[in-house]
Structure 1
């Protein structure tokens, strides 16, 4: 058995994962985002009934594999904290920590839509854009533990480039990113970013779900917005495929609930990669909210 916690900015999802991948004794508690002591106490309390059993954590953040220091933008109390060291001391058990997008990719590779593939790049299309890279059944952590963070690093560069359609050209906006840079893919590809992009493109203020529904119904303005979205996200993901050689891309997160969007993104990617293929690359993930816990259970 492995004790697993999937930690987000709102809740800690906890379960005991059995060797055959069943989730037992599942529970959730609020994440103490501003109190490190309370945060540690919450995890220790969840684990207390199973002394000595390893704890594996998927979290919305990253642990530097060289220093053990954690960075989690939406959990301020963990800023520069050696979380693994603290938990190992307090709970007297082995502790492993990985990014939740990495755990998502690992879970889909072991149990989900990417099962049987050795080279997997998983993408999260949610509030923001995230990703994880799995090779031969293991997460590739890389420099600083940030491998797979394809949502950051400028892709829209000054001077503004023009996106030309058959009947018109438009300047693509350069937005500030929460990582401190400008023009990152995350500034136009996440759900909140899509909503902002739609307003920039002349559409009405509304939710990403509304925009996707309008697009699927053929609304002219939504089609315009999504052409910008698919151009950039498709190009960025094509670069990832060219570099990694991944044979499948599981897509999760709220935006990926739209099968139409995932299919369109797959088409956009396959138009841009170096190796032409008729096989579907981008596919909807199938594990849903279980992915973080299952991926955490597979950490080694």
Structure 2
């Protein structure tokens, strides 16, 4: 048995996992973001609720573990930011600990329990407030030891023009420190930014998509620009990874027409041709981070047992 956690800036969600099909949620607690002692105490309380000693603990967290130093970058959880979190929690709690990025856990959940079942290489893409992703090959997370694989949202790759007729696209500054990243235009805030750029009108992403579905010409123009910017980087990611399915999570994945359009645009741009959808909605719609962390934890616990 393992205890898994999905830790965000506002809440800590826990779960007990005995197998891939037996994952039971625990209570949700507020995240003590600025107090590491209280952070540990909250985790200990949830572990005690499990009622038995776990083999290990696994964590989905909104941050990235440096694969060389094992230091966590997690801006929205200050008390964990800059720590070798796995080592610190092992010292405090007394169990082996596994830390993984939330997008990686999403990808793992989709690969093993969602839309990626039966596929050897699964690329999980996040189109939420921003853009993220994770890569699973042969049932194993590429970033199991930490790292940045799957982060297709970052890097100066966005085209300078998009749409017909062409619209000039500024190299917007990204939170990662670079300019021109997919993250700056690919998520919900990015879609809103593009609509403002093209039409000088402020609308929420949901409103833009709703107008587009209803045939609104300005919204259609915005979606043309969006697809010209987002589909080439995603197609390149598919070519490089060899993914045969791309489950998508995040707020924009709630629009079936948007995903269908993105799927068509990506399939036009990749080398391998599919006669079926490639970019699809995620199937793990409830607690994918918790499910993914549980699956990673179960694999980790098996490896510990095999090595003993």
Give the alignment's TM-score, normalised by structure 2.
0.91
When the two structures are aligned, how many residues end up with a matched partner? 295
**Counterpart in 1 of 2:306?**
none
Q: CA deviation at 1:142?
A: 8.1
**Counterpart in 1 of 2:244?**
247
Q: Determine the C-alpha separation between the residues in 1 that align with 2:126 and 2:25.
A: 27
Q: Determine the C-alpha separation between the residues in 2 that align with 1:208 and 1:18.
A: 40
Structure-2 change in CA distance of 1:215 and 1:94 (3 Å) = same
Q: Greater shift after overlay, 99-108 or 42-51? A: 42-51
Structure-2 change in CA distance of 1:42 and 1:241 (3 Å) = same
Q: CA deviation at 1:162?
A: 2.7
1:176 has 2:173 as partner: yes
Q: Determine the C-alpha separation between the residues in 2 that align with 1:35 and 1:207.
A: 35
Contact 1:44-1:90 at 8 Å conserved across structures = no
| Residue 208 of structure 1, aligned match among 195, 205, 210 | 205
Q: Determine the C-alpha separation between the residues in 2 that align with 1:104 and 1:21.
A: 16
**Any idea what the Cα deviations from partners look like across 1:242-294, whole Å, max 9, x if unmatched?**
10110000001111011111111100100111122222111100111321111
Structure-2 change in CA distance of 1:235 and 1:143 (3 Å) = farther
**Counterpart in 2 of 1:35?**
35
Partner of 2:199, secondary structure, is coil
| Residue 101 of structure 1, aligned match among 103, 119, 138 | 103
Contact 1:44-1:87 at 8 Å conserved across structures = no
Give the alignment's TM-score, normalised by structure 1.
0.93
**Any idea what the Cα deviations from partners look like across 1:189-240, whole Å, max 9, x if unmatched?**
1111211221111153121111111111111111111111111111010000
1:76 has 2:75 as partner: no
Gaps of 5+ in 2: 301-308
Partner of 2:109, secondary structure, is helix
Q: CA deviation at 1:186?
A: 0.3
Partner of 2:79, secondary structure, is helix
Q: Determine the C-alpha separation between the residues in 2 that align with 1:184 and 1:143.
A: 25
Q: CA deviation at 1:143?
A: 9.0
**Counterpart in 1 of 2:18?**
18
After superposition, residues 58-207 of structure 1 pair within 5 angstroms as: 58-141=60-143, 145-156=147-158, 161-165=160-164, 168-207=165-204
Q: Greater shift after overlay, 21-30 or 63-72? A: 21-30
Contact 1:52-1:92 at 8 Å conserved across structures = no
CA RMSD of aligned residues (A): 1.7
Q: Determine the C-alpha separation between the residues in 1 that align with 2:187 and 2:220.
A: 17
Runs of 4+ in structure 1 over 4 Å off: none
Q: Determine the C-alpha separation between the residues in 1 that align with 2:25 and 2:61.
A: 19
Contact 1:21-1:294 at 8 Å conserved across structures = no
1:296 has 2:293 as partner: yes
Structure-2 change in CA distance of 1:97 and 1:198 (3 Å) = same
**Counterpart in 1 of 2:53?**
52
Q: Determine the C-alpha separation between the residues in 1 that align with 2:43 and 2:144.
A: 27
Q: CA deviation at 1:164?
A: 4.5
Q: Determine the C-alpha separation between the residues in 1 that align with 2:194 and 2:41.
A: 41
Q: Determine the C-alpha separation between the residues in 2 that align with 1:260 and 1:187.
A: 22
Partner of 1:90, secondary structure, is helix
Q: Greater shift after overlay, 262-271 or 86-95? A: 86-95
